[in-house]
Structure 1
Amino acid sequence: MTIPRLSFLALLISATLGGQALAADATTDKHAITHEDVWLMKRVGAPQPSPDGKWAVFSVTDPAYDSKEQWSDLWIKSLGDDSPARRLTFSKGGESAVNWSPDGKQLVFVAKRDGDDAGQIYRIDVAGGGEAQRLTTLTLGARAPKFSPDGKQLLFISDIFPGNASEEDVKKTAKERKDRKYTARAYETFPPRFFDKWLDDKQVRLFVMDAAVGAKPRDLLSGSKLAALPGFGGGQGDEGQSLDAIWSPDGKAVVFSASTNRDELARASGYTQLFSLPVAGGEAQQLTADKRSYNNLKFSADGKTLFALSEAEEPGKVYDLTRLASFGWPLSSAAPKLLTASLDRSVSRYALPAGTGRIVFSYEHAGLEQLHSINYAGGDLRDEASQPTGSIGSLNAGGKALVGVWESAINPPEVYAFGNGAPKRLTSFNTERAASIDWQAPEHFWFKASDGRMIHNMIVKPANFDPAKKYPLFAVIHGGAANMWRDQFVLRWNYHLLAQPGYVVLLTDYKGSTGYGEEFARAIQGDPLKGPGDEVNEAVDEAVKKYSYVDGARLAAGGASYGGHLANWLQATTTRYKAIVSHAGEMDLVMQWGSSDSIHGREVNSGGPVWGDKAVWREQSPVMQAGNHDKGTGFKTPILISVGELDYRVPANNALMNFATQQRLNVPSKLLVFPDENHWILKGDNSRYFYSEVHGWLAKYLK
């Protein structure tokens, strides 16, 4: 099917009226954005509506530069009137994984409170009030609780150590490990680490317990044939492995997705299949047996349809669209019905508002993420009422209510109600602060690249912008590469804060980006850096030609993660830029393959293993082009290099090699190492220092 493009009028509204109307009051004195504005904006979490659609609960983080002073609590908002949201919890540690009881009177959530060594499940009586009660006291904690359909039981995830069969075993093993004298880690499967953590041998499990204080949890998987498989496990996250699990409509079974080939991740794509497990005990039944992956499981209100998001995991491909899939329930076929098979976009999230017979979902497109819907049969695709700018970052349904978080580059996140006419803002945590900032919504433009592809871009202007003046251009490159620049409020590389000293920021979605279809995202295969780098350069040329206020003699480029890879590539292959900024950027494709926490996809992208005959491993490694001065390129441009010492996705050896090469070639260069940061810079004072160093580096070479 054809994806609708934004019309010129829609883009004009987007760039002028639509976004600014919420963020700005023309009578208010405004100031250029500061790091404090960025860092201290309240962070609004995904709202969870009650089953009857009367209330929504969500987290709000009140940030601080000193993490000890930061607060995060649950808030509750009536969806039936305009009364303001009120705070529901008063706990510094914060709460997560909120789930409503079926009658809408109680909530469970995960928190780490006084006396907890790990996150535990707590229950609070929303209707009657009072303090939250701790329901679990497991040695390794509990996460992702869900009430059973009758509200009498809880399903949740926890871990055990190998060989454990009970909580007593877990407690004993934990003590033995704490008391042992050696500190070595041992591994027999890949990967040994993930982002900023060395992985351990804990094994993920599903538990069920009565929803009552003092109830004893039951491990549903220990001792099962499924859990004994060497490749059994779940998706890896910050808190360990996760199994996407929900109750069956009759409450007699648990339906979940899990992997059985985690032991093959060094040489094959991982995939997750669907299983059903009786709550009363017994072996899990495998429901699907294909090479797809399934997650985000939901049942229809009548219990007759199971929905999921699914990817094909197609062999030899670097990217697969995420599609909406459905199964008749009880399972009538092991093959899913792909409801969005004709939609050339990945579904980001979906919800099932009651009584509509429709699935409401969002997908990325050209910097925006808006709402659409389809019927349960997969037909009658519609655009739903959305803001003309910005992005929807969460979406959940309760009864007929549909709520989520909307934001844009000049409107920090707030809770919104959708699905009943125009979107309605329900909270105002950040609106006053946002209104005091002098900023403009991003301006969108397209151009045709030399390879014939249409390339989408956004331009961000600094405070006190004067179109009669000339401004340096800073081309900021997104990571991924399977990612997209979005019209949203960004913490780590905030567009307006980067522009604040007086730069125009260019945001380009080069080939390999998401939001433009499967072929566009896959076009990076076999061409990991050169093609995308060429398109960034062409976007810069187009911006210089299109906008008279861009000074083509003062250009800089930079990015993080894959954006850092491309920044290093641009330094190696062009001298057009006066300065480069590279955070978490790879220098050598071979070294990155062998030292990162992900390797199979890198082989697929480069056409084969590093010991094969694929020239891309050498020809598109930035360090291998460093000395190409006889070709008029090579490393010459001054470069600011930064890295988190705890980054295991793009390990610090890349930054060390980068700095060593620059120094060897006598290139002006500076290395910033953050010993307590991972792939991202997440601590307030570190972030403030990072922005000041970026601004200082650009000022040194652009002004």
Structure 2
Amino acid sequence: MTIPRLSVLAFIISAHFGGAALAADSVATKHAITHEDVWLMKRVGAPLASPDGRWAVFPVTDPAYDSKEQWSDLWIKSLSDDSPARRLTFSKGGEGALNWSPDSKQLIFIAKRDGDDAGQIYRIDIAGGGEAQRLTTLTLGARTPKFSPDGKQILFVSDIFPGNASEDDIKKTAKERKDRKYSARAYESFPPRYFDKWLDDKQVRLFVMDASVGAKPRDLLSGSKLAALPGFGGGQGDEGQSLDAIWAPDGKAIVFAAATNRDQLARASAYTQIYSVPVGGGEATQLSADKHSYGSLKFSADGKTLFTLTEAEEEGKVYDVSRLASFAWPMTSSTPHVLTAALDRSISRYVLPAGSNRVVFSFEHAGLEQLHSVSYNGGDVRDEPSLPSGSINALSAGGKALVGVWESAINPPEVYAFGNGAPKRLTAFNTERAASIDWQAPEHFWFKASDGRMIHNMIVKPANFDPSKKYPLFAVIHGGAANMWRDQFVLRWNYHLLAQPGYVVLLTDYKGSTGYGEEFARAIQGDPLKGPADEINEAVDEAVKKYSYVDGSKLAAGGASYGGHLTNWLQATTTRYKAIISHAGEMDLIMQWGSSDSIYGREVNSGGPVWGEQAVWRTQSPVLQGGNHAKGTGFTTPILISVGELDYRVPANNALMNFATQQRLNVPSKLLVFPDENHWILKGENSRYFYSEVQHWLAKYLN
């Protein structure tokens, strides 16, 4: 059909303005982010690709404000077609520590279901369907299960009580402890507690069992000299200590990383070495022979190379870059071949895609985390196709398939396929909700600080942003300090929710941050608070100068953990901010050293023990700047202080001292104590209340 010229013009005009109207309607329907938007976004976990590359299984949490109404299940997505993901399990408790059988037909995982007092191993038949079967009924539960190369056995981590040699012994000891009349805890080694848990004397072990219901697990390290060492153990986690363990390619041994100096944690850093133990049990053989740390062990498909991440654990340094290394297998040398020796970045995660002689990995840099690769021989690091913004926070390879989770500040996590051209989104759990929010991607900028370092920053703008208007600036400070602000969607201190009332949020990676190399991260040694705080102040100056919409007369600062430490220092040393928000921030370096669950690293950072001659313990403790108040240079800014009563990383005595200091000096101050929270505010209604208090405090002193 031929359309007359006039009709064509009318059609074009109609289409143009009709489209504009639709776009305007779309913009009009967008809303400023709410706490419900943040909290109720579905939480998409790390996918695990099947060995044949056909499937990816991943957890998805349906959050709720009432934890009793929250659900978490496994979903499965085909990697060979565009069919939508489907739910695989239907249980409220959730599943974790997923592992595929070598033939890609079965999946094992850890879950705590009806009748389970601790997490147990379950197996589900992916090929045949049906309900998951419980494989273990251990008193102390199981963690991180892995199928053997032939799929007939399962390796996992569990615990024993001292002196126990069997499950019957463990069950008996557990009952005796439950029935005893006293409630005291006793300790002879450090640390006695971790984050929000008092530790006990359980000892971590490796177990192997047949992959069948009712099979009897075998403790591989029972009676061994290695396990008997007082410092034997692994990394501490919420569920206990972990041992990074994998099957040897021939299935006849277990290769694992463990520490033997955990009993020295009050005066030294723990380091993990590589060991091997026969599947039949017996003495372990030490394979590496240095004082580095090794972890994230993986074998190449042909079984000829053992890959690992390694850290030098350099004596007297506060941070070591994590590098990718390898050993020939069987190991003929205890000296690793470092593949990323020239890369001054820490490897976050890596995978070994089949049919390739390259290792694919990611690392942090300037607010982003993208994909890179290096050959098995090392040295030739190159970029791999990634999205231009945001961060990869999970990665898995199965066959030739490469899957992971990508997110950004305005794109909540979804599963993506990588490695074959441009990344491809595979799920859409949050895309519709995200599209309804009025938000913008962070804007990046750099500046040169007075110490000569180039400092990276991100600016986040509020909804309905108008560049012709003036907005107060809220400088939000990340914790760590070995951390980095990332272009990602976060629950705690969500950038856009903080900006929502009409603030511009400034996110600065001060010296001590990761993502900028080893020297940059180590630069806070001997200067834990003043130097980083100076750079934050300079970043604020730069933002005021660079962006005309920033109102330099209305400034606020806040942060949590190490960010809380720096916030307290700012409040003690400057009056430029109109409001301060401090969560889990230390007030006295000496008190924090003596009451937290980590002390040796603090000594290294300050140059020696608290009883030494190092002045930093006193000159950079915020509380000892109280005299500044009389000089009118600090301790005058209204401060909102919050803390979890169960926080053992930055214990509540810091917040109590902070509040006491403010009240003593007659500074407007408010203390929020969360009796059922630890280092983070993790419960829905507590989080909603926290954000509302932050917004009220800022509004009171900025608007």
**8 Å contact from structure 2 (residues 32, 438) kept in 1:** yes
Separation in 2, partners of 1:25, 1:97: 45
Does 2:226 correspond to 1:226? yes
- CA displacement at 1:633 relative to structure 2: 1.4
Separation in 1, partners of 2:43, 2:486: 17
- AA of the residue aligned to 2:601: G
What is the match of residue 511 of structure 1? 511
- 1:638-653, aligned counterparts within 5 Å? 638-653=638-653
- AA of the residue aligned to 1:118: A
What is the match of residue 611 of structure 1? 611
What is the match of residue 38 of structure 1? 38
Separation in 1, partners of 2:412, 2:341: 33
Separation in 1, partners of 2:231, 2:27: 62
Residue-by-residue CA offset, 1:226-252 (whole Å, 9 max, x unaligned): 000000001000000000000000000
- CA displacement at 1:631 relative to structure 2: 3.7
What is the match of residue 57 of structure 1? 57
- AA of the residue aligned to 1:161: F
What is the match of residue 271 of structure 2? 271
Separation in 1, partners of 2:630, 2:474: 27
Does 2:325 correspond to 1:343? no
Separation in 2, partners of 1:204, 1:213: 23
What is the match of residue 215 of structure 1? 215
SS in 1 for 2:29: coil
Separation in 2, partners of 1:205, 1:533: 44
Separation in 2, partners of 1:651, 1:400: 47
Residue-by-residue CA offset, 1:296-352 (whole Å, 9 max, x unaligned): 100000000000111000000000000001000000210111110100100000000
What is the match of residue 413 of structure 1? 413
Does 2:472 correspond to 1:500? no
- CA displacement at 1:630 relative to structure 2: 4.3
Separation in 1, partners of 2:323, 2:595: 32
What is the match of residue 307 of structure 2? 307
Residue-by-residue CA offset, 1:499-552 (whole Å, 9 max, x unaligned): 000000000000000000000000000000000000000000000000000000
Distance of aligned partners of 1:116 and 1:597 in 2 relative to their CA distance in 1, 3 Å threshold: same
What is the match of residue 535 of structure 2? 535
Separation in 2, partners of 1:196, 1:32: 34
Residue-by-residue CA offset, 1:669-692 (whole Å, 9 max, x unaligned): 000000000000000000000000
- CA displacement at 1:26 relative to structure 2: 5.2
**8 Å contact from structure 2 (residues 629, 665) kept in 1:** no
Residue-by-residue CA offset, 1:444-474 (whole Å, 9 max, x unaligned): 0000000000000000000000000000000
- 1:200-599, aligned counterparts within 5 Å? 200-599=200-599
Provide structure 1 residue ranges, at least 5 long, that are not aligned to the other structure: 1-23
Separation in 1, partners of 2:476, 2:27: 32
SS in 2 for 1:165: coil
- CA displacement at 1:28 relative to structure 2: 7.0
Residue-by-residue CA offset, 1:31-87 (whole Å, 9 max, x unaligned): 000000000000001000000000000000000000000000000000000000000
- CA displacement at 1:27 relative to structure 2: 5.9
- CA displacement at 1:657 relative to structure 2: 0.2
What is the match of residue 670 of structure 1? 670
- CA displacement at 1:222 relative to structure 2: 1.5
- CA displacement at 1:281 relative to structure 2: 2.1
Separation in 2, partners of 1:70, 1:582: 29
SS in 2 for 1:593: helix
**8 Å contact from structure 1 (residues 359, 374) kept in 2:** yes
Separation in 2, partners of 1:571, 1:333: 54
- AA of the residue aligned to 1:89: T
**8 Å contact from structure 2 (residues 342, 379) kept in 1:** no
**8 Å contact from structure 1 (residues 25, 435) kept in 2:** no
Separation in 2, partners of 1:66, 1:73: 17
Separation in 2, partners of 1:266, 1:621: 21
What is the match of residue 18 of structure 1? none
**8 Å contact from structure 1 (residues 59, 72) kept in 2:** yes
Does 2:157 correspond to 1:131? no
Separation in 2, partners of 1:472, 1:221: 60
Separation in 1, partners of 2:150, 2:679: 43
Separation in 1, partners of 2:474, 2:125: 52
What is the match of residue 693 of structure 1? 693
Separation in 2, partners of 1:526, 1:337: 33
Q: What's the TM-score once normalised by structure 1's chain length?
A: 0.96
**8 Å contact from structure 1 (residues 73, 95) kept in 2:** yes
- AA of the residue aligned to 1:146: K
Separation in 1, partners of 2:165, 2:234: 19
Separation in 2, partners of 1:222, 1:278: 12
Does 2:108 correspond to 1:117? no
SS in 2 for 1:691: helix
Separation in 2, partners of 1:629, 1:118: 52
Q: What's the TM-score once normalised by structure 2's chain length?
A: 0.96
Separation in 1, partners of 2:117, 2:679: 26
Separation in 2, partners of 1:223, 1:47: 37
- AA of the residue aligned to 2:380: D
Residue-by-residue CA offset, 1:543-582 (whole Å, 9 max, x unaligned): 0000000000000000000000000000000000000000
**8 Å contact from structure 1 (residues 28, 436) kept in 2:** no
**8 Å contact from structure 1 (residues 28, 435) kept in 2:** no
- CA displacement at 1:379 relative to structure 2: 2.9
Residue-by-residue CA offset, 1:345-392 (whole Å, 9 max, x unaligned): 000000000011000000000000000000000032110000000000
SS in 2 for 1:59: strand
Separation in 2, partners of 1:178, 1:222: 24
- CA displacement at 1:223 relative to structure 2: 0.8
- CA displacement at 1:628 relative to structure 2: 1.3
Aligned residues with identical type, % of pairs: 87
Residue-by-residue CA offset, 1:257-308 (whole Å, 9 max, x unaligned): 0000000000001100000000022210001121110111000000000001
- AA of the residue aligned to 1:502: G
What is the match of residue 6 of structure 2? none
Separation in 2, partners of 1:654, 1:688: 23
Residue-by-residue CA offset, 1:466-495 (whole Å, 9 max, x unaligned): 000000000000000000000000101100
**8 Å contact from structure 2 (residues 276, 287) kept in 1:** yes
- CA displacement at 1:627 relative to structure 2: 2.3
Separation in 1, partners of 2:609, 2:209: 47
- CA displacement at 1:634 relative to structure 2: 2.6
RMSD of Structure 2 on Structure 1 (CA):
0.9
Provide structure 2 residue ranges, at least 5 long, that are not aligned to the other structure: 1-23
Separation in 2, partners of 1:293, 1:324: 12
What is the match of residue 3 of structure 2? none
What is the match of residue 20 of structure 2? none
What is the match of residue 636 of structure 1? 636
Residue-by-residue CA offset, 1:618-650 (whole Å, 9 max, x unaligned): 000000002213443131000000000000000
What is the match of residue 169 of structure 1? 169
Choose 1 or 2 for highest CA Rg: 2
- AA of the residue aligned to 1:153: Q
Distance of aligned partners of 1:281 and 1:25 in 2 relative to their CA distance in 1, 3 Å threshold: farther
SS in 2 for 1:701: helix
Separation in 2, partners of 1:266, 1:543: 42
- CA displacement at 1:172 relative to structure 2: 0.1
Residue-by-residue CA offset, 1:389-446 (whole Å, 9 max, x unaligned): 0000001100000000000000000000000000000000000000000000000000
SS in 1 for 2:428: coil
Residue-by-residue CA offset, 1:150-205 (whole Å, 9 max, x unaligned): 00000001100000000000000000000000000000000000000000000000
Question: How many residue pairs are counted as aligned between the two chains?
Answer: 680
